[in-house]
């Protein structure tokens, strides 16, 4: 059993569980997330509330969370008590948004003991409840989020309209307040230049496509975040089922594209994979974006069962551990961008070498 989180050091000292590659279809889907937006009935929305009102929201929400089973062993952090580097680490771990991480107003986060469940306080809405899972697990992530929401609902008075549903700061979240998403890896469709057609079809059925870090982020490493868009006039289960149905279709399309790659361009595909692995294994300076893009090729090779590559969890963890915040925390101080590139390369080499020592498959002939 994972020990409870007691300090920020406990959090950064272990890998996020949604990176462990244990969930269904983990070779295609990195993670699943379900987020619920809620507000307290008697308090103005965050952008209209005074700081003393937001202090009251923080006290009410964290107090209610402490009394739930879902957050019984949680770690509570106030943004204004964290350094800029530590706040950046929370963004890199997909625990908080850039807006919450600004550290200016009374904001914070409650993180469940296994980091699978978290609660942002005083972001765009008073509460942003989030459940994360490894691989493709929409139903499970929804079950966890829904259970925690029910517990909080018994302790807090949420702003709710019988006609509209849950009231939120942004009208695009009003109704269910639900945002469900999957972070999916689609390298074969990109290599075969079929990705734009697939993304167009996704958006035509009312779903959103974003980058690695969600809204306003770029697509890197052939990683796409697909999420529901409709929250008004459609129930939570309908939204979850719609996203699950479309995601399965995308997965099948990507699998067929991978089959074509191995059938028609095996040598070129394996060459791309091994060039990427070689660069990661022996590089002396590398940027975070380079790591993400190189890991995409290695991840494809792992899913194709090419012998001699590192395990999937190692590839996943590099996506986070090589980001600037985690990197500098590991180093123990601030680094300039060129210094980060050198230290990042060292960390990647060490991680891959350790994976080879710890029972990885023999190198290919």
Task: Please give the residue range of the domain that contains residue 242.
Answer: 8-259
Q: Which two tokens stand for residue 229?
A: 């868009």
Same domain, 237 and 101: yes
Binding residues: 31-35, 94, 128, 179-183, 210-215
pLDDT at site 119: 97
- For the chain, the domain total comes to 2
pLDDT at site 268: 96
Same domain, 208 and 68: yes
Same domain, 86 and 208: yes
The stretches in the chain having pLDDT less than 70 are: 1-2, 212-217, 359-365
Domain boundary among the residues 216, 239, 259 is at 259
Global confidence as pTM: 0.92
Binding residues for ATP: 31-35, 94, 128, 179-183, 210-215
User: Is residue 363 in a domain?
Assistant: no
pLDDT at site 361: 42
Residue 70 CB-density burial (10 A; 0-12 exposed, 13-18 middle, 19+ buried): buried
pLDDT at site 1: 57
User: Is residue 365 in a domain?
Assistant: no
User: Is residue 2 in a domain?
Assistant: no
Same domain, 166 and 273: no
Neighbours of 77 (CB within 10 A): 22
Same domain, 204 and 326: no
Same domain, 155 and 69: yes
Same domain, 279 and 253: no
User: Is residue 292 in a domain?
Assistant: yes
Domain boundary among the residues 213, 238, 259 is at 259
Cβ pair 126, 39 in contact under 8 A:
yes
User: Is residue 78 in a domain?
Assistant: yes
Same domain, 240 and 117: yes
Same domain, 295 and 222: no
Same domain, 149 and 125: yes
Same domain, 210 and 66: yes
Same domain, 285 and 241: no
Domain boundary among the residues 232, 259, 286 is at 259
């Amino acid at each position: 059993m994972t020990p409870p989180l007691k300090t920020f050091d406990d959090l950064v000292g272990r890998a996020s569980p949604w990176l462990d590659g244990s969930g269904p279809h983990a070779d295609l889907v990195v993670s699943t997330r379900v987020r619920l937006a809620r507000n307290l009935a008697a308090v103005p929305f965050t952008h209209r509330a005074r700081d003393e009102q937001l202090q009251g929201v923080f006290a009410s929400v964290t107090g209610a969370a402490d009394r739930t089973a879902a957050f019984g062993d949680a770690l509570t952090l106030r943004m204004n008590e964290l350094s800029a580097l530590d706040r950046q680490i929370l963004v890199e771990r997909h625990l908080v948004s850039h807006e919450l991480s600004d550290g200016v107003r009374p904001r914070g986060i409650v993180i469940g003991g296994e980091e699978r469940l978290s609660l942002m306080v005083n972001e765009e809405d008073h509460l942003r409840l989030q459940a994360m899972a490894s691989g493709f697990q929409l139903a499970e992530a929804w079950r966890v989020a829904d259970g925690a929401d029910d517990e909080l609902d018994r302790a807090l008075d949420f702003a709710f309209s019988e006609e509209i549903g849950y009231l939120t700061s942004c009208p695009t979240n009003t109704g269910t307040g639900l945002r469900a998403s999957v972070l999916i890896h689609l390298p074969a469709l990109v290599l075969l230049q079929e990705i734009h057609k697939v993304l167009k079809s996704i958006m035509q059925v009312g779903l959103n496509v974003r980058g690695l870090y969600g809204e306003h982020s770029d697509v890197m490493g052939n990683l796409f975040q697909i999420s529901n868009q409709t929250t008004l006039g459609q129930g939570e289960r309908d939204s979850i089922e719609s996203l699950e149905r479309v995601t399965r279709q995308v997965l099948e399309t990507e699998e067929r594209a991978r089959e074509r790659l191995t059938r028609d361009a095996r040598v070129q595909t394996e060459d791309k994979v091994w060039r990427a692995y070689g660069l990661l294994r022996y590089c002396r300076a590398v940027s975070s974006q380079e790591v993400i893009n190189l890991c995409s090729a290695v991840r494809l090779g792992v899913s194709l069962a090419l012998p001699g590559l590192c395990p999937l969890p190692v590839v996943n963890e590099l996506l986070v551990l090589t980001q600037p915040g985690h990197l500098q925390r590991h180093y123990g101080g601030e680094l300039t961008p060129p210094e980060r590139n050198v230290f990042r390369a060292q960390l990647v080499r060490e991680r891959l070498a350790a994976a080879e020592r710890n029972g990885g498959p023999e190198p290919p002939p």
